[in-house]
Structure 1
């Protein structure tokens, strides 16, 4: 029986763990949290950090595993690439994954390879930021966080220090990137693509939705398909394809965030992550198109070459239930229009537990997976406050 190490055992990793077992693999989960749900369904688990390169290398060697993999995690994606290279296992080049996981290295790569990019600076000391030579507004964010945590839009120089402090708190390496804000012509594009042998074989782009009344920088939904016309979408797809070709990513799911600039109509890649998107984007795309990223990836590992057939006749999204204040959760009320479209609910916070303001994916109360026959799904999602009420 083939063995696989899955880096991470949280709820977002459960689909990978279950699917690996369905494919006949012996699954070893790695996560330092004892109560992580993935540990309960794995064949074996180890309580070590997914970013501990040497510990994971030793475990993989001792267990004689065939694959080291993760799902929806930038830090763990680098660990998987590093350990796979050290042990001679199939995996992506660590340098490619590092560039795709570090916002500073990513911007530098865009600059060096002729992509459009916002002007930016990377800082490790707050004293240096007051002399930053960028046009406001700017975005201040950690170079190495995910889930939109620690991000602030700053309109003037007087607010930079506070934003820097927040971003630093969410950075493992204590580095912060400040970059000029790209005003989007349309909704920000978000989705996943699959890469095989260094080429994108399948790509799915939807529209991000933000709640400006709570936090205009943290998306609470992505709706598929995008409402942007195909000509504009093709421009984005070509830029993503060129990036993957140049960076050297070989195979697996990638997560994409991109904007078309309102003022020059050019494509700007905001992020291209070396893993599938969070908030169950993998499942949303499967609901929307029938494309299964996990099947595609394991087919590569199992030396199969089966092209999946699409059936795109639906509309789908995830919708993060969130709060605009802190407190104790008393009640969540959903409209009938929302309820009839729900195909799955992913709860994080129970009634009676503490609630945080929606400042990152880690403050979600629950995630709803929606599916519809109607294109009006996007409009329904936009009217969040009309359909969802959180009492705390």
Structure 2
């Protein structure tokens, strides 16, 4: 029987999952709140439903399932673990519990779960009103980091230095989150990293640890702007083992016993601390291009087979190569675009895996307006390079970025 896969989300970030499923011969149904979602045209069937509407997604999945049984449900780069888990539970498909999905999505409850399980993580407080946030910030000590409880891709995340900035940050959070509650965390200095893997047959397998590049971290304060990542990591074997240990503690604290797990960590003078742990595959190319290019492990392919109930041998999670990989972003100055140079020259350079305009900037041309970036999801272009080692990959990526010139003029 041809596997039938439901993919939650049908935007540009989910296209790799939709296309891979079609390549594998799967039947694909997708959902998205956007009636013009690009993935609709590439799927067999679709429904216009918010990726955060778990009840609506379940009702839709049940109707589809009655006509053509669904064998698996998953997402990619979408904060919709709750909808995925609810469908899996309703239809008896492989997945995690709704409770674990909630903990992996709700930033405050996740931190509470970490604290209860003694997972090394930043000190935090929760808040709802502005005054709650002020009390939390005073207790933690300025500056603090504030985050919406339910966003991804750094949207709404800000470094807050004082009471005036906190008021502005809370007002912005109200615009990106439907929930009154928000997270207030201590601000930490240290190297930041991504870690991703799967829970297979009850065992946690970590596919890779990367070094997140924050050379442009404070380019547009108070926002944090990541500038890609690099593999292999520079951390020692001992630190890497410690990072895997605390990341595994986080997975267990959330009760995740199956499927994808994706974390963000910071290494401080207190050791590795867990910033985030999600029950989904990552976006920004990491799980389906960066890691495979680095060591041959394709987490998207693995999780897709797991989702439809296929047996996945553990040896698919063993590295088959070691290669340096560097992802870097292009951050033009805000303003009106006047000229674009060097894109094809950058693509032609040795070791360049790709040079791509990001989805929201497809068709970028002179006359378009670039606003100051407020999250990593607003970068204009991405460059990925490989090399025989980390250093060569970084040189190639940064040379390609330097070749690309997106000229702008300011707006008075």
Q: TM-score, normalised by structure 1?
A: 0.91
Q: How does 1:109-258 map to 2 (within 5 A)?
A: 109-132=113-136, 133-184=139-190, 187-210=191-214, 211-212=216-217, 214-215=219-220, 217-258=224-265
Following the alignment from structure 1 to structure 2, what is the Cα–Cα distance between the partners of residues 219 and 318? 11
Could you tell me whether the CA contact under 8 Å between 2:352 and 2:397 is conserved in 1?
Answer: no
Instruction: Identify the range of structure 1 (50-59 vs 382-391) with the bigger mean alpha-carbon deviation.
Output: 382-391
Matched, 1:267 2:268: no
Alpha-carbon offset, residue 42 of structure 1 = 0.8
Following the alignment from structure 2 to structure 1, what is the Cα–Cα distance between the partners of residues 125 and 338? 40
Structure 2: segments with no counterpart, 5+ residues: none
Instruction: Identify the range of structure 1 (246-255 vs 8-17) with the bigger mean alpha-carbon deviation.
Output: 246-255
Distance 1:381 1:139, change over 3 A: farther
SS at match of 1:218: coil
Q: In the alignment, which residue of structure 2 is the partner of 1:374? A: 389
Following the alignment from structure 1 to structure 2, what is the Cα–Cα distance between the partners of residues 359 and 96? 30
Could you tell me whether the CA contact under 8 Å between 2:346 and 2:400 is conserved in 1?
Answer: no
Give 2:372's match in structure 1, choosing from 357, 361, 377: 357
Could you tell me whether the CA contact under 8 Å between 1:279 and 1:367 is conserved in 2?
Answer: no
Alpha-carbon offset, residue 255 of structure 1 = 1.6
Alpha-carbon offset, residue 384 of structure 1 = 9.1
Could you tell me whether the CA contact under 8 Å between 2:328 and 2:398 is conserved in 1?
Answer: no
Following the alignment from structure 2 to structure 1, what is the Cα–Cα distance between the partners of residues 395 and 109? 36
Following the alignment from structure 1 to structure 2, what is the Cα–Cα distance between the partners of residues 238 and 96? 19
Could you tell me whether the CA contact under 8 Å between 1:209 and 1:382 is conserved in 2?
Answer: no
Alpha-carbon offset, residue 172 of structure 1 = 2.6
Q: In the alignment, which residue of structure 1 is the partner of 2:328? A: 319
Q: Once superposed, what is the RMSD of the aligned Cα atoms?
A: 2.3
Alpha-carbon offset, residue 179 of structure 1 = 0.8
Instruction: Identify the range of structure 1 (212-221 vs 136-145) with the bigger mean alpha-carbon deviation.
Output: 212-221
Could you tell me whether the CA contact under 8 Å between 1:193 and 1:254 is conserved in 2?
Answer: yes
Following the alignment from structure 2 to structure 1, what is the Cα–Cα distance between the partners of residues 183 and 212? 22
Q: In the alignment, which residue of structure 2 is the partner of 1:331? A: 340
Matched, 1:88 2:92: yes
SS at match of 2:327: strand
Following the alignment from structure 1 to structure 2, what is the Cα–Cα distance between the partners of residues 281 and 116? 24
Could you tell me whether the CA contact under 8 Å between 1:198 and 1:249 is conserved in 2?
Answer: no
Could you tell me whether the CA contact under 8 Å between 1:140 and 1:154 is conserved in 2?
Answer: yes
SS at match of 1:114: coil
Q: TM-score, normalised by structure 2?
A: 0.87
Following the alignment from structure 1 to structure 2, what is the Cα–Cα distance between the partners of residues 271 and 321? 25
Alpha-carbon offset, residue 101 of structure 1 = 1.2
Matched, 1:7 2:16: no
Q: How does 1:20-31 map to 2 (within 5 A)?
A: 20-31=21-32
Alpha-carbon offset, residue 330 of structure 1 = 3.2
Q: In the alignment, which residue of structure 2 is the partner of 1:310? A: 319
Distance 1:246 1:42, change over 3 A: same
Alpha-carbon offset, residue 90 of structure 1 = 1.7
Following the alignment from structure 1 to structure 2, what is the Cα–Cα distance between the partners of residues 389 and 176? 38
Alpha-carbon offset, residue 382 of structure 1 = 6.9
Distance 1:2 1:311, change over 3 A: closer
SS at match of 1:188: strand
Could you tell me whether the CA contact under 8 Å between 1:99 and 1:105 is conserved in 2?
Answer: yes
Following the alignment from structure 1 to structure 2, what is the Cα–Cα distance between the partners of residues 356 and 346? 19
Following the alignment from structure 1 to structure 2, what is the Cα–Cα distance between the partners of residues 268 and 304? 33
